[in-house]
Structure 1
Amino acid sequence: MRHLVFLLALLPTLAQAWGNHSPMCYRAFERMPEVAGAAPVKAEPLVDFLRDQEPALARELDAQEAWAREHLKGHAPRPDALRFVPDAKRSAADRRAAFLRALRLSPQSRLALYLQVDPREAEPTRPAIDAAQVTAVTPGKGATQRFVALQPGEAVAPLAVLATACDEPDYGHDLNLFDDNPGSPANPSYGFGNQPFGNPAVAIGSQAPFHMGFFHQGAIFNTLAPSFARTFTELRVQQYGGLAVLAWQTGHAYWGWRFAGLALHHVEDLTQPYHASAAPGATLGHMMWVNLKAQLGWPADRQGLVVLQGNRHFVLEQFQTRWIIDDARQRRDGPLELALRDAARDARYPPWSLAYVRDVVAAEAFAAGPATDAAVVVGAPAKFVTDPNFDFAANEAQLGPELARSMQGQRDALQAGIAELLGHFGAHSRNALRGLLKEANLRAR
């Protein structure tokens, strides 16, 4: 048995970790002095920032790539043809396209001017913006995002910019970037090679290697499934974080907060145990056993494990998202909101560094995996989390309301576990932001 091949099918539907990040980020940052006390910033189209800082951006992106090649394990080097080379004569559209290529983001990335409204606020009076202008991913029927238009030059609170951007990488930034994706960028290749896990034919699944980090599975697992080590979450944190620092440094505060939010998204994804562990509800021995049975002609147990892990992830995400949104609309503070704001947790962790993503965030989430999986099994209706013949993902739109009704009498069962995870979410988000702000201040001296 060379590889745990069945795990390749486990992850495509799990690319989204926490549902909507923005409502949680509003709570996590609304009382952080560095955010709450920051002066309003002027909204700025991306093309204006790129034009104004083109030479500095070229230096920054080259420095990031050099650092990644030296320090990031399993880094896929950026092809030299994708370098961002200053050219004052090119059009704004060409400059924007060159920027996306240098970052190796999807050409369909929107990066529009918009806000996602805090669900605690009343219905906005400003014009709504069509979701297609914000995201390349079609929102599901249960989507909770509310997008409104933001005008160039409009004054906006950094909290709103930051919280809005914290959800944005799920809007298609990382779609079809691998050589074997049907819609992958053409000529030149982005250099990521073939998709390391997940089904390359499923568009949304191509995001997974940029939003997950299996850094702590152990030597045996890594030998059996070496492709799982090829994840690019740390790369995205480094890229967006460096751009935030540059933007703050050069007087483009709006993009400083916006890029910071993009970086934080990838940090926050790794606080979700199902994004830091290939199968938190199964031991390595069990994974090897069901895989062997499948190879011998009895695949039912293998497929059952795949379905159960997916169902539990979806149930956790649905329960957490609905709970957060319901509390926000009622302007109610419950255990999740208190955990997200709990700044006393921040000092429990070491200072921010780029190693923090792997060594602190992912390690903590991996360790929490078995308890989290067990809490979902105990706290959710058995139909959703213990029946391997029931595929929640295939029926999510219809089953969401049923799950909400079924959970009403069992909310306490999952409350403590989810609150603890969101305490991690808030603390790591604030620590990462402090680190980026500190770097910007140090560069200014």
Structure 2
Amino acid sequence: MRLVLALIASLLPALAQAWGNHSPMCYRAFEHMPEVADAPPVTAEPLADFLLAEEPAIARLLDAQEDWAREHLKGHAPRPDALRLVPDARRSDAERRAAFLRALRLSPDARLTLYVQIDAREPDTVRAPLAASQVSAVANGKGATQRFVALQPGEAVAPLAVLASGCDEPDYGHDVNLFDDNPGSPQHPSYGFGKQPFGNAAIAVGSQAPFHMGFFHQGRLFNTLARSFTRTFAELRVQQYGGLAVLAWQTGHAYWGWRFAGMALHHVEDLTQPYHASAAPSATLGHMIWANLKAQLGAPADRQGLVVLQGNRHFVLENFQTRWIVENAQHRRDGPLEQALRDLALDGRYPAWSPSYVRDVVALEAFTAGPRTDAAIVVGAPAKFVSDPQFDFAANEAVLGPELARDMQGQRDALLREVARLLSHFGAHSRNALRGLLKQAAARQASAP
């Protein structure tokens, strides 16, 4: 069983990013949604001001969320009582911020600075760019597409910009090194997550995998053989950030309402990506076990192929989608991916937003789409990128990305249609989640004395 676990673990991507840069897609997904497009500008507010004004209410919310998670989330790791947020008006801003991050069990290095990520459709701004290190605790990879500018306290900003920026933010180091066996974890007291259940515990960015993936639909045998893979915390993050968004809207901190909403949506959106909802879309568990057995008998080619090709196809899908969206935005043109992201007609085909929506609707749909997506990548992308187990696309992504865009196989249109299908799900689920959060905020405000 240990060998099977090792094989399954190796199939996961080294980095836990699902869609690359979420913000360009979120600008398109929300720009025609009336609840966002018609919302009035909000006032940029430092996190310290929100925490100082609402610390008692935030503390009550986080305690209630923890009680709910212990009762309803399968595989939840209870928060140590020592990490509870206890209001203290005598704290400094820095101490209050640190206590807030501990209570959420986020990295103490999370920046949460005032910024927006500029829409790729907008020309280079006259404002000075903000260094990525001011926004993210992890270094940008080669070919990163984010463009940041600083916001000043009190500055008016469009909710669309705040929301779309927040949609990418959880990839900026919020969930890095939170497990007991991560190299960086000694900088904070035990967060109660235990040992990292899957992913590469020795790689900083890889340590965020259990917060951005959810293998909820692999089946009973998989869950028995790989029980640790059922320990995932994406649903926890959705509930935490979503609850903070509702509280912020209720209490007059609209900037943080839209920003926390974006952070919640990030984890929903990650699970629309088949490689984040399935341990291996291209292989059954039986095939994985057989490949591992053959490797033990001296024929490792099948196992090596599974490991390399799984990662290559994930990265090719992400690279293809990101480059298409960003280049179209820079040229201010629309194509099938942009149209799919904006397609509001799909929203009503799903059930109403609820705490189980992430698992039972989003992840199930992505898991089911896995084999079809994998097949579309195989026939659509250059064969050496997706069918050669000796080639590591991730190690050469920055150099070979343009070649991928230029040298597609004859079935590129099939791949484009499949990516468009996935992005229509991305847009619909993002909007449904946001509607659910806005509805909660409105209902609670209406019932307030």
TM-score (norm 1): 0.98
Match of 2:102 in 1: 101
2:336 matched to 1:314?
Answer: no
1:274-308 Cα deviation digits (max 9, x unpaired): 00000001112111101222334443321220110
1:247-266 Cα deviation digits (max 9, x unpaired): 00000000000000000000
- Cα distance in 2 for partners of 1:185, 1:251 equals 37
2:155 matched to 1:144?
Answer: no
Assess if the C-alpha contact under 8 Å between 1:9 and 1:197 holds in 2.
no
Match of 1:70 in 2: 71
Distance 1:378 1:398, change over 3 A: same
Which secondary structure state, in structure 2, belongs to the residue aligned with residue 145 of structure 1?
coil
- Cα distance in 2 for partners of 1:302, 1:372 equals 21
Alignment of 1:202-351 (within 5 A): 202-351=203-352
Match of 2:31 in 1: 30
Assess if the C-alpha contact under 8 Å between 1:379 and 1:413 holds in 2.
yes
Question: Which shows bigger deviation, 391-400 or 351-360?
Answer: 391-400
Match of 2:46 in 1: 45
Distance 1:202 1:219, change over 3 A: same
- RMSD of equivalent CA atoms: 1.2
Distance 1:408 1:324, change over 3 A: farther
The residue type paired with residue 244 of structure 1 is A
Assess if the C-alpha contact under 8 Å between 1:12 and 1:199 holds in 2.
no
- Cα distance in 2 for partners of 1:12, 1:18 equals 12
The residue type paired with residue 406 of structure 2 is R
- Cα distance in 1 for partners of 2:211, 2:13 equals 12
The residue type paired with residue 190 of structure 1 is Y
Distance 1:398 1:229, change over 3 A: same
Question: Which shows bigger deviation, 47-56 or 119-128?
Answer: 119-128
1:295-328 Cα deviation digits (max 9, x unpaired): 3444332122011000000000000000001111
Question: Which shows bigger deviation, 119-128 or 248-257?
Answer: 119-128
- Cα distance in 2 for partners of 1:297, 1:213 equals 33
Deviation at 1:198, TM superposition (A): 1.3
- Cα distance in 2 for partners of 1:105, 1:12 equals 22
Deviation at 1:410, TM superposition (A): 5.4
Identity of aligned residues (%): 80
- Cα distance in 2 for partners of 1:5, 1:235 equals 26
The residue type paired with residue 323 of structure 2 is R
- Cα distance in 1 for partners of 2:13, 2:103 equals 25
Distance 1:408 1:161, change over 3 A: farther
Match of 2:8 in 1: 7
Assess if the C-alpha contact under 8 Å between 1:294 and 1:302 holds in 2.
yes
Deviation at 1:366, TM superposition (A): 0.2
Which secondary structure state, in structure 2, belongs to the residue aligned with residue 390 of structure 1?
coil
Which secondary structure state, in structure 1, belongs to the residue aligned with residue 269 of structure 2?
helix
Match of 2:428 in 1: 427
- Cα distance in 1 for partners of 2:36, 2:398 equals 36
1:180-199 Cα deviation digits (max 9, x unpaired): 00101445200000000112
Alignment of 1:377-388 (within 5 A): 377-388=378-389
Deviation at 1:407, TM superposition (A): 2.7
1:314-349 Cα deviation digits (max 9, x unpaired): 000000000001111111111011110000000000
Match of 1:135 in 2: 136
The residue type paired with residue 140 of structure 2 is P
- Cα distance in 1 for partners of 2:364, 2:188 equals 37
Match of 1:192 in 2: 193
Assess if the C-alpha contact under 8 Å between 2:12 and 2:310 holds in 1.
no
Q: How many residues align?
A: 445
Question: Which shows bigger deviation, 7-16 or 187-196?
Answer: 7-16
Which secondary structure state, in structure 1, belongs to the residue aligned with residue 408 of structure 2?
helix
Question: Which shows bigger deviation, 114-123 or 364-373?
Answer: 114-123
Deviation at 1:43, TM superposition (A): 0.2
Question: Which shows bigger deviation, 123-132 or 377-386?
Answer: 123-132
- Cα distance in 1 for partners of 2:295, 2:98 equals 45
Deviation at 1:10, TM superposition (A): 2.4
Which secondary structure state, in structure 2, belongs to the residue aligned with residue 53 of structure 1?
helix
The residue type paired with residue 105 of structure 1 is L
- Cα distance in 1 for partners of 2:189, 2:209 equals 22
The residue type paired with residue 161 of structure 1 is V
- Cα distance in 2 for partners of 1:398, 1:322 equals 13
Question: Which shows bigger deviation, 377-386 or 300-309?
Answer: 300-309
Distance 1:12 1:315, change over 3 A: closer
The residue type paired with residue 134 of structure 2 is Q
- Cα distance in 2 for partners of 1:214, 1:355 equals 14
Deviation at 1:127, TM superposition (A): 1.9
Deviation at 1:409, TM superposition (A): 6.6
Assess if the C-alpha contact under 8 Å between 1:106 and 1:185 holds in 2.
no
Match of 2:418 in 1: 417
- Cα distance in 1 for partners of 2:191, 2:295 equals 35
Which secondary structure state, in structure 1, belongs to the residue aligned with residue 414 of structure 2?
helix
- Cα distance in 1 for partners of 2:403, 2:187 equals 43
The residue type paired with residue 217 of structure 1 is Q
- Cα distance in 1 for partners of 2:396, 2:268 equals 29
Which secondary structure state, in structure 2, belongs to the residue aligned with residue 4 of structure 1?
helix
Assess if the C-alpha contact under 8 Å between 1:213 and 1:275 holds in 2.
yes
Assess if the C-alpha contact under 8 Å between 1:81 and 1:188 holds in 2.
no
Structure 1 regions of 5+ residues with no counterpart? none
- Cα distance in 2 for partners of 1:91, 1:294 equals 58
2:424 matched to 1:401?
Answer: no
